[in-house]
Amino acid sequence: MQTNDYQGLKIIDDSQFITQDELVVEAPLQININGEPYTVVMRTPGNDFDLIRGLLYAEDIYKKEQNLHYSILEEDKSVPKIINVDISKQDLGKGYLNKRTLLSVSSCGICGKQQLEDLNIEDDQLEEKLLFSSENLFKMFEALKEEQKTFHKTGGSHAAAIFNEDHQLLTIKEDIGRHNAVDKCVGSLLVHNNLQQGKYLLVSGRVSYEIVSKAFIAKVPVIIAVSACSSMAVDFAKELGICLIGFTRDNKMTVYSRPTFLKPKMHNEY
């Protein structure tokens, strides 16, 4: 299962309606080595054994030509959640000594709930609620585009930007990696001791679970993306109290969680 249908609120100019979007599935896979947890990766299910083999090679854990033995220890609706791989101790590379820290996430009590209805989940949510119009949202994106110096030169970089409650740009960073750009923005605001002013995170590409988790840790309540959102990004945005908006371009956008953040339609705002 690599895609799933989710409901969203589609806004085009002065109209809005419920829509069904097909999202790429993002799901965790725990990799065990010789019965011991090694790491958790976020991936789109499929070709998981190839993924593990490539990861172990890249991490200098197993570089021999012989095939490995894999065991699926746990599944969710036929999708592997935990896979164990057996590797003899003499074949383990040096990379095994630098074990990755396992991903730690809150239990996603609403994962897979595809309807847009307001969910009464209060624990561990961001408490702040913002009201904003689509007009202000698109203005923030114009400011982001203007500041993407590296992208204008190369066409090969991602950008992230954080704005305050008055829709003023606080910081923008570019990087070849989407997650790196977000980390740079958060780090910059931490250095200048004004992270608490960050209310809107804009990203130039798609949104996956990791970006939602970074926004939650930074206590930024709104994420706005120019491209798609993964299934787990939507799941966790709902659970963590984050307003998540995707496909924000050409006077269109799709709100996947917390549509109540949008101001009521007034004076042709939408």
Question: Does residue 151 have a known ligand-binding role?
Answer: no
DSSP letters along 62-81, please?
A: ---SS--EEEEEEEETTEEE
108 catalytic, yes or no? yes
Helices (H) and strands (E) counted in the chain, each on its own, are 6, 12
- CA 210/CA 197 separation, integer angstroms: 21
Grouping H, G, I as helix, E, B as strand and the rest as coil, residue 137 is helix
Which backbone phi and psi does 137 adopt, to 5 degrees?
-60, -50
Which backbone phi and psi does 76 adopt, to 5 degrees?
-135, 110
Residue 43 pairs with which residues in a beta bridge?
Answer: 27
167 Cβ contact list (under 8 Å, min separation 6) = 132, 136, 139, 140, 200
170 with 189: CB under 8 angstroms? yes
Among 108, 185, 229, 243, the one annotated catalytic: 108
Report the run of H or E that residue 9 belongs to, with start and end: strand 3-12
Grouping H, G, I as helix, E, B as strand and the rest as coil, residue 148 is coil
Nearest to 209 by CA among 185, 184, 239: 239
171 Cα distance to chain centroid: 20
Question: Does residue 21 have a known ligand-binding role?
Answer: no
72 Cα distance to chain centroid: 26
Question: Does residue 248 have a known ligand-binding role?
Answer: yes
Question: Does residue 252 have a known ligand-binding role?
Answer: yes
Annotated binding site: 247-252
Give me the active site residues, please: 108
